Amino acid sequence: MSETTPTQASGIDTAAIRAAAQNLSDGPVTAGYKGDREAVLKMLNDALATELVCINRYKRHYYTVSGKNNAAVKAEFLEHAGEEEKHADWLAERIVQLNGAPDYNPATLHERSHAEYDESLEVQSMVRANLIAERVAIEAYRQMIEQIGDTDPVTKQLLVKIMAEEEEHADDMRDLLE
């Protein structure tokens, strides 16, 4: 009877590990990557477009909301714009890690975004538009997470992290509704 090496006994494929040392130009994408990279890149770029539209919407609302009683709402809009920008940065970084190119093309943002831009001038209309956009983003991230499943654990983890913050944003906007 032959003796089993510790790496084989643990279920680790040492040949695959050694193969990962090849193709260094692929960066973190190894032959063991199980996701549909092109589909994941498309989802991530669409999510990036959504975050960029959300940044613009929150910034517009921040600069156009007025009234002495709206300081807290204005601050919330600015905070959310910053957090959406952080999400966009995370998504762009992941796209590059997967050997893709982040799509910042302003001409196609609206058609790729899951959320809508909004030009409301009334505070409650702004809050409502932001709550709708957050709910749309939550559902979009939920569907992306479901589609990716366990084929790309790093992207899945990132999307779960972003979705959790989007849920906090939705809760904040709901609290601001009158």
For residue 114, say whether it is annotated as part of any ligand binding site.
no
Task: Report if residue 21 sits inside a domain.
Answer: no
Task: Report if residue 45 sits inside a domain.
Answer: yes
For residue 134, say whether it is annotated as part of any ligand binding site.
yes
Task: Report if residue 9 sits inside a domain.
Answer: no
Task: Report if residue 55 sits inside a domain.
Answer: yes
For residue 84, say whether it is annotated as part of any ligand binding site.
no
pTM of the model: 0.90
Domain that holds residue 83: 34-177
- Domains: count for the chain: 1
Task: Report if residue 20 sits inside a domain.
Answer: no
In tens digits, the chain (178 residues) has pLDDT values of 444 444 555 788 888 888 888 888 888 888 888 999 999 999 999 999 999 999 999 999 999 999 889 999 999 999 999 999 999 999 999 999 999 999 999 999 999 999 999 999 999 999 999 999 999 999 999 999 999 999 999 999 999 999 999 999 999 999 999 7
Give the CATH number for residue 43.
Answer: 1.20.1260.10
Task: Report if residue 101 sits inside a domain.
Answer: yes
Question: Residues near 55 by Cβ (< 8 Å), separated by ≥ 6?
Answer: 81, 84, 85, 88
For residue 178, say whether it is annotated as part of any ligand binding site.
no
Euclidean distance between CA atoms 81 and 150, whole angstroms: 30
For residue 80, say whether it is annotated as part of any ligand binding site.
no
Euclidean distance between CA atoms 147 and 52, whole angstroms: 22
Pull the structure tokens for residue 178: 């009158």
128 sits in which H/E element: helix 123-148
Task: Report if residue 83 sits inside a domain.
Answer: yes
Task: Report if residue 100 sits inside a domain.
Answer: yes
Return the DSSP state at 26.
Answer: G
Residue 76's Cα: distance from chain center in Å?
20
Q: Report, in this order, helix, strand and coil percent for the chain, each rounded to 5.
A: 70, 0, 30
